[in-house]
């Protein structure tokens, strides 16, 4: 089937946004091998589209195209690059409804969340369109009377961007936008579960007049594409969002060419409620942070730690809120949680629950789900303990385990007892405690009386095994820029 007839099945108002080839040097191409793979709807397993299954050859061509395009892209004035990004922001928002539809169909999240993700993803493009004009240098103090030292910042070069399936739009825009603003060109490899959103972004880059070769997208054989991106010496930087496990593999693969790395990896977010915390606010925060995207975000609450004196009151409110959730097809009105991305993902979540129950956790089942292999029932686990897998591993599903603590010290100790360090949250009205706890949490991000912490203005990223580098804010540009010092002598 050609792109147009595939698109008509998806109900897009602009059929041209469904792309099934690789986007290399401004052209849509098939795989050299002629092989294909399918993208399926997690609601029912229906095939949404059949795509070119690319490998190392196509990736190498994409890298060469990015390399050829990079000098001219970097030579544009910041204002010119900003204009391209601004145009991309505009076409993305003009096509928000279709992009959200593609996203829900391939990923499963409710349409309202997908609309939100497109706007959130576009915000990064708007932000870095503005930041492109503020890549400043420095004049340093002079080392001797006849010398002057100046610092300029230059693009790293060709960047490889590998993204996951949980935010198929925004995880890519928050890499593409700073890369392009800095003067880098990119080769993107989206997750095989959700490549249609990335291909639609490539189409919009084309419509926004971004020159051929500046943005390239290749989908297909993950290992072959990843192998080429990490070993090709032309690629100077890898920015990856995904699991810690794969992040470590890719880091090892980059050793041979010592690439610059940005790694946004897994999390194990604690959500602490102190005895003086506002319980209603905390439940609101936990619902947003735990159940958004059916629990499949790297900043999702993984462990609820509640002071023992307020546990019963908190759990009662949490159960009421959880029971009010509606699970269903993300395309239907009023749905809060769609299916998980795959049947495998659902099975993994089931195993977490079985493990917790076998070790004494009590299950409070939330709303029922429609039939379907990928649906996971939202639930709360009380009497959770440290020996359970839900304490130490990332759940990535709608399961909310509740642990208790007695003192601030114990809360901090529990919160930090993990190799991860991405997002954390806590609720208290005491200003002194807020400072103490915020400083003691070994995390890259802390929500204080707030469950939603990600936006283009705040630096996003982790410490420990949650990764390195920051996305968003003016710091987001640093990952794509080299510092060069110029020493002038004979003055
Ligand atoms: P998730 O748990 O979110 O699926 P993964 O780390 O498995 O996270 O995948 C994130 C991204 O990394 C996806 O685009 C996936 O295809 C890609 N990926 C997984 N394994 C490799 C690999 N060996 N080489 C390159 N990319 C990989």
pLDDT tens column, 321-346 = 999 999 999 999 999 999 999 999 99
Probe target for ligand 1 pocket from 59, 106, 223, 242, with the most ligand atoms within 8 Å of CB: 242
Q: How confident is the model at residue 9 (pLDDT cuts 50, 70, 90)?
A: confident
Share of the chain above pLDDT 70, in %: 99
Residue 155 CA to ligand 1 center (angstroms) comes to: 26
Residue 246 CA to ligand 1 center (angstroms) comes to: 6
Q: Which helix (H) or strand (E) holds 105?
A: helix 96-107
Residue 275 CA to ligand 1 center (angstroms) comes to: 40
Q: How confident is the model at residue 491 (pLDDT cuts 50, 70, 90)?
A: very high
- Whether the CB of 246 sits within 6 Å of ligand 1: yes
- Whether the CB of 349 sits within 6 Å of ligand 1: no
Residue 298 CA to ligand 1 center (angstroms) comes to: 14
Query: CB under 8 Å to 337, separation ≥6 — which residues?
Result: 110, 291, 294, 325, 326, 327, 328, 378, 398
pLDDT at 7: 63
Closest residue to atom 18 of ligand 1, CA basis? 222
Residue 29 CA to ligand 1 center (angstroms) comes to: 23
What the block records as the tokens of 168 is 């198929």
pLDDT at 244: 97
Average per-residue pLDDT for the chain: 97
Query: What mean pLDDT comes out for the span 297-309?
Result: 98
- Whether the CB of 249 sits within 6 Å of ligand 1: yes
Indicate whether 1 pLDDT > 70.
Answer: no
Indicate whether 303 pLDDT > 60.
Answer: yes
Indicate whether 398 pLDDT > 90.
Answer: yes
Which ligand 1 atom is at minimum distance from the Cα of 396?
Answer: 2
DSSP 8-state assignment for residue 212: T
Indicate whether 192 pLDDT > 90.
Answer: yes
Tell how strand 138-139 and strand 269-273 pair up. unpaired
Chain centroid offset of residue 10 CA = 25
- Whether the CB of 192 sits within 6 Å of ligand 1: yes
Q: Which residue has 């959103």 as its token pair?
A: 197
Contact (CB, 8 A) for 344 and 350: no
pLDDT at 230: 98
Indicate whether 43 pLDDT > 70.
Answer: yes
Distance CA 237, CA 234 (A): 9
Contact (CB, 8 A) for 47 and 40: yes
Please tell me the number of Cα atoms within 13 Å of 193 on its side-chain side.
Answer: 19
pLDDT at 2: 67
List 365's β-bridge partners, or say none. 379
Query: CB under 8 Å to 193, separation ≥6 — which residues?
Result: 39, 106, 107, 165, 341, 342
- Cα angle 314, 315, 317 (rounded to 5 degrees) comes to 70
Indicate whether 6 pLDDT > 90.
Answer: no
Indicate whether 256 pLDDT > 60.
Answer: yes
pLDDT at 71: 98
If we measure between CA atoms, which residue out of 443, 203, 107, 185 comes closest to residue 301? 443
pLDDT at 253: 98
Which ligand 1 atom is at minimum distance from the Cα of 162?
Answer: 14
Residue 165 CA to ligand 1 center (angstroms) comes to: 9
Probe target for ligand 1 pocket from 59, 164, 467, with the most ligand atoms within 8 Å of CB: 164
If we measure between CA atoms, which residue out of 331, 352, 327 comes closest to residue 340? 327
Q: How confident is the model at residue 384 (pLDDT cuts 50, 70, 90)?
A: very high
Indicate whether 379 pLDDT > 70.
Answer: yes
Q: Tell me: the pLDDT tens digits for 89-123?
A: 999 999 999 999 999 999 999 999 999 999 999 99
Active site residue 298: yes
Active site residue 264: yes
What the block records as the tokens of 33 is 């091998």
Distance CA 226, CA 55 (A): 9
What b/e string do you get for 152-161 counting C-beta neighbours within 10 Å, with b at 16 or more? ebbbbbbbbb
Closest residue to atom 8 of ligand 1, CA basis? 242
**Catalytic choice (184, 298, 300, 374):** 298
Query: What mean pLDDT comes out for the span 183-193?
Result: 98
Indicate whether 182 pLDDT > 60.
Answer: yes
pLDDT at 8: 66
Which ligand 1 atom is at minimum distance from the Cα of 245?
Answer: 6
């Amino acid at each position: 089937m050609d792109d147009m007839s595939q698109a008509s099945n998806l109900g897009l108002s602009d059929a041209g946004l469904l792309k099934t080839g690789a986007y290399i040097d401004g052209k849509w191409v098939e795989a050299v091998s002629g092989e294909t793979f399918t993208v399926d709807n997690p609601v029912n397993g229906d095939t949404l589209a059949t795509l070119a299954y690319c490998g190392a050859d196509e990736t190498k061509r994409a890298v060469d195209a990015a390399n050829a395009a990079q000098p001219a892209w970097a030579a544009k004035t910041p204002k010119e690059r900003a204009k391209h990004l601004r145009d991309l922001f505009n076409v993305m928002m003009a096509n928000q409804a279709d992009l959200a539809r593609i996203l829900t169909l391939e990923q499963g999240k409710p349409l309202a969340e997908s609309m939100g993700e497109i706007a959130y993803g576009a915000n990064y493009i708007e932000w870095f369109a503005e930041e492109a004009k503020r890549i400043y240098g420095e004049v340093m103090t002079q080392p001797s009377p006849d010398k002057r030292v100046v610092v300029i910042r230059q693009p790293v070069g060709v960047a490889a961007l590998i993204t996951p399936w949980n935010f198929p739009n925004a995880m890519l825009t928050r890499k593409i936008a700073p890369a392009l603003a800095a003067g880098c060109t990119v080769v993107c490899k989206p997750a095989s579960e959700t490549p249609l959103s990335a291909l639609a972004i490539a189409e919009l880059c084309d419509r926004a007049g971004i020159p051929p070769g500046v943005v390239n997208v290749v989908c297909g054989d993950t290992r072959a594409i990843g192998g080429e991106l990490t070993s090709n010496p032309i690629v100077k930087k890898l920015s990856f969002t995904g699991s810690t496990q794969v992040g470590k593999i890719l880091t090892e693969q980059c050793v041979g060419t010592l690439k610059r790395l940005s790694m946004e990896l897994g999390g194990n977010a604690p959500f602490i409620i102190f005895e003086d915390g506002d319980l209603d606010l905390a439940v609101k925060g936990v619902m947003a942070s735990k159940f958004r995207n059916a629990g499949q975000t790297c900043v999702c609450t993984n462990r609820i730690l509640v002071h023992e004196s307020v546990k019963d009151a908190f759990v009662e409110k949490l159960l009421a809120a959880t029971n009010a959730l509606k699970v269903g097809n993300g395309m239907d009105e009023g749905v809060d949680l769609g299916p998980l991305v795959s049947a495998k993902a659902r099975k993994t979540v089931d195993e977490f629950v079985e493990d917790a129950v076998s070790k004494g956790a009590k299950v409070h089942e939330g709303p029922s789900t429609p039939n379907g292999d990928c649906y996971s029932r939202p639930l709360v686990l009380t009497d959770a303990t440290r020996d359970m897998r839900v304490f130490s591993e990332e759940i990535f599903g709608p399961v909310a385990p509740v642990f208790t603590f007695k003192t601030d010290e114990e809360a901090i100790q529990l919160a930090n007892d993990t190799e991860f360090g991405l997002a954390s949250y806590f609720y208290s009205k005491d200003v002194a405690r807020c400072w103490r706890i915020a400083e003691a949490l070994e995390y890259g991000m802390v929500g204080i009386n707030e469950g939603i912490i990600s936006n283009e203005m705040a630096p996003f990223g982790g410490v420990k095994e949650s990764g390195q580098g920051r996305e968003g804010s003016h710091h987001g540009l640093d990952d794509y820029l080299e510092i060069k010092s110029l020493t002038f002598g004979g003055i």
